[in-house]
Chain A
Amino acid sequence: MKTDDLIAALSADAATLEPPLDRAALRFLAFGALVAALLFVTLLGPRHDWRLAIETVHYPLKFVPTALLAVGGVGALLRLARPDGRIGLWGAVLALAVAVLLAAVAVELAMVPSSDWLRLAIGHNAPHCLALIPFLSIAPLAAAVLAARHGASTRPRLTGLVAGLAAAGIGATLYAMNCDDDSPLFVVLWYPLGIAVVAGLGAWAGRRFLVW
């Protein structure tokens, strides 16, 4: 078949245009986050004393890095889902999530006597945390991979990994509402493990599903 013939066939198909990437992707992601939120509300719910906890410093502080991870992850995903896309400033948002958490850890280490460090870091919800962050991230991860599949990434594994980070940001934000271990020492020790599981899954899914 000649190239001109192919062009003739392609231009006859000009009317079948898929919805623009950003709009379609955000719709997928909103749906994934909604499913995760429904699972959270029906199976877990926020911790019983959340009204009191919200007045403290530690409890609301947990949401800053997780929300930054979700926002930065989604932003980076929308960029990487395009063939010519670069992470750009969204990479800085992801780095900021890490920086905020590490700063909180530094302050906590300075304020709390060292005899308490281990108790705070181990907490009493670690197995929960490890299981529930990936669990709450499953629907957002599926949505993020579908969103990226609607795009055309030239770096499937990295894009999958970022899809995993975005999904884990949503999952971790939900989980943080339930968890009553509020010390940054707990967050820095356990959350990244749960998040890494999701990111690894994402990278695997990227290689598998984001090739076009």
Chain B
Amino acid sequence: MRAALAGDGRAYRALLEALTPRLRAIVARALARAGASNADLEDVVQETLLAIHLKRHTWDPSAPLAPWVQAIARNKTIDALRRRGRRIEVDVADFAEILPSAPDRDPTEGGDVERLLGELGERQRDIVRSIGVEERSVRETADRLGMSEGAVRVALHRGLKTLADLYRRSAT
């Protein structure tokens, strides 16, 4: 994390990848404790990753990283549970016969972020997708969209911030 805070993108990526399985475990435990199903697990993990990213300046480099990560994950799980509390849940088993069988979904696929991406401006959505899903570099994305690299960076950052805002607003 220290290298990541110094702006080392590769170290940062490695850190987030290493944190993700631990986040899954923390979130799964918190969901289980609340007696909730694991259906939203990956959504909560993704929301937590986004929060870790946007709030990483609140980690005190002289303190251990784990409690900080845990506090964010737990907080985001509670947000998600609150959000879900406002939705009516029906047991899918009751409708098993009339529902078409669900297509096999990648378990690391998040539904929330996809839905919220749809609410971003077209440009920001393009950029987040291009760099995330299509694994293009900032430069390739800039070339493809006819923008400067700096403008792509700014739009990416704004897009991620807006995503976090959308999560929050869907929680209230």
Which A residues fall within an 8 A CB radius of B?
1-21, 24, 81-84, 150-152, 154, 211-212
Contacts and interface: CB of A to CB of B under 8 A. Distances in A.
17 contacts: A1-B114, A3-B110, A5-B132, A6-B49, A6-B110, A7-B13, A9-B160, A11-B13, A13-B160, A15-B9, A17-B7, A21-B58, A82-B58, A84-B70, A152-B55, A154-B72, A154-B74
A139 to B, nearest CB: 24
Given A8-B131, A84-B67, A2 B108 contact: yes
**Which 3 residue pairs spanning A and B have beta carbons closest together?**
A9-B132, A11-B13, A5-B132
A82 B60 contact: yes
B106 interface: yes
Given A12-B138, A84-B70, A211-B168, A7 B17 contact: yes
Interface string B50-79: 110101111110010001101110110000
A11 B168 contact: no
Interface of B: 4-5, 7-10, 12-13, 16-17, 20, 42, 45-46, 49-51, 53, 55-60, 63, 67-68, 70-72, 74-75, 106, 108-110, 113-114, 117, 128-129, 131-133, 135, 137-138, 153, 156-157, 160, 164, 168, 172
A83 B156 contact: no
B81 to A, nearest CB: 14
B131 A84 contact: no
A82 B59 CA distance: 7
Given A1-B132, A8-B13, A15-B9, A151 B58 contact: yes
Nearest to A79: B60
Contacts of B133: 1-2, 5
B57 A20 contact: yes
B145 to A, nearest CB: 14
Contacts of B63: 84
Contacts of B67: 84
A212 B164 contact: yes
A13 B71 contact: no
A21 B9 contact: no
A127 to B, nearest CB: 39
Contacts of A9: 128, 131-132, 156, 160
B53 A3 contact: no
Nearest to A19: B57
A1 B128 CA distance: 10
Contacts of A84: 63, 67-68, 70-71
**Most chain B CB neighbours (cut-off 10 Å) among A11, A16, A18, A211:** A11
A40 to B, nearest CB: 32
A14 B4 contact: yes
Nearest to A25: B58
B12 A14 contact: yes
Contacts of A152: 51, 55, 58, 72
Contact of A17 (B5, B72, B137): B5
A83 B57 CA distance: 11
B157 A13 contact: yes
A82 B20 contact: no
Among B114, B132, B133, max chain A CB count under 10 A is at B132
A110 B114 CA distance: 70
A21 B49 CA distance: 19
A13 B156 contact: yes
Contacts of A16: 153, 157
Contact of A13 (B53, B55, B109): B53
